[in-house]
Structures are given as C-alpha cells and as structure tokens.
Structure 1
C-alpha cells in the first residue's frame, strides 16, 4: 500500500469483516475532553499497523436517524446498530487503519454530522480480532 493510501486510511490492508465474532474493543474514549492520542496511548492490545473497525456511538432524534445514515454512508460508514428509542442510539462503523490524527479527524467529522442533526456523540471505540499476528 502506498503512503498516500495509508494516510487516507484506504487500501489493501483494510480487509477486515466487521461481523467477525472474534472482534474485541482495543481502544476507546467516551470522554469529550480526551484526545485520541491519549486514548490510543492507553490501548494495550491495539495493533497500529492492522485495520480496525472504528465505531462512533451517537444519540440522535429518531426523526434524524435516516439523514445521519445517508451522510455517514457518503463518507464510508455503515450502520452497526440503531435502536427505536427517541432519541435513538446509533452506532456507525467503518474499517480503516487507525492513528491519532485520523481518529481525531473522524471524530470531528462525525460530531459535525450529529450536531447538524440535533444529536450528540457519546464516544468511539476501535475493534480488532482477539488473536492477530504480531
């Protein structure tokens, strides 16, 4: 993979099935004040050179869920889950190689989408297979 594909979080190493049953949370932050670099610095089992399933946890009014899903799909996110409550708890996910810069950028991007649709971001987490080659 070229340096620019890695920089953009795209390319051949992002072959990770988000539905794998052996995925575990390797990094997370549900604190608005915590920097992604801090959260990733505390992550003990995260492999920086391997793709993750990056998930953003949002709470949005039920009437805004579809609009958020449409915008999220345009930037490469799928809906991992959504409940029927109002406001709805919505989890958006995508597979990418993760570093502090891209985590911060994605966090800001998703926060902007949620804010424009009267919602909040609760936090994010990153998943990788429990057993992976080192």
Structure 2
C-alpha cells in the first residue's frame, strides 16, 4: 500500500511544484514536538532537544508555534489584536486561578528555526509585559510522524 501512497505523493508534488499545502492548525493529528517554559533555555537548545526526542521536531516542515501568555482579563483582546498583525490567532482563553489572570495562547504556522523562534519569544515577552502580563513559554506542534 505504501507504493500506492508514494505514487500519489509524487503526483501531488509534480502538480503543485513540490509545494505542500499550508499546515492546518486545526488538524487532529498535531502533537507537541518541542516546548520551552524555562526562560533560561535558549530556543536552539529546545529545538535540539525536540529533534532528538520523540515525537521528533522536523526542521524542514511547518509547525504551529504557540506562545502561552498570562494577562489581565481586559488585555486579552488587545494582545490578540496586536499579535494578529503578525499573523497570530488566539485560542480560547482559559482562566488561571492563581491570580485571576487569563491564560491566552497565540499561535501561527511557520517554518521554525532558532533565530525566528528567539525573535518571536522576545516579541511575545515584550507584548505581555506592555499589557501587564507575562509570557510563560512556547511550544510547537507538527503532525505525529509516528502515525505515518
């Protein structure tokens, strides 16, 4: 059966010029392939760990990069609006019971590398700080390669 799949994949690549369709962040087979909730950990270190452990981060494939923020309730919409200018969308906010802040996850699809990850991590930390909150970390999702 994999030979038939290979034929269809080669045909699709020939018809699309080798381009894959954009990654749909709503796919049900997405799994966390790398994450970092430690401010001291570099993005390059986290990505190396993600490539070395299962499920593996694949550096040539798109990923859903998600930033986790904790914000005052009245800042959630503004954060989503500002991040939306850079292609981020928000997931449903979740109440964080410790101090009454709202947990917000902002996500976008992109090819993930250490430099861009570090830039986005810094950008989200600045955004959260300007709005009276904090950025608690980030993670990235890709289709579960073990399912293939």
Normalising TM by the smaller chain, what interval? 0.7 to 0.9
1:121 aligns with 2:132: no
Runs of 4+ in 1 over 3 A off after TM superposition: none
Which structure: larger Rg? 2
Gaps of 5+ in 2: 1-18
Whether 1:88 aligns to 2:102 is: yes
1:81 shift after superposition? 2.5
Q: What number of residue pairs does the alignment pair up?
A: 123
Q: Quick one: structure 1 residues 34 and 14, their matched pair in 2 at CA, closer, same or farther if it must change by over 3 Å?
A: farther
Normalization by structure 2: what TM-score? 0.78
In 2: Cα distance, 1:109 partner to 1:87 partner: 20
Task: Please give the TM-score of this superposition, normalised by the length of structure 1.
Answer: 0.86
* More helix as a share of residues: 2
> What is the CA–CA distance in structure 1 between the aligned matches of 2:30 and 2:88, rounded to whole Å?
18
> What RMSD over aligned residues (CA atoms) do the two structures have, in Å?
1.9
Unaligned residue ranges in structure 1 (runs of 5+): 1-11
Counterpart of 1:79?
90
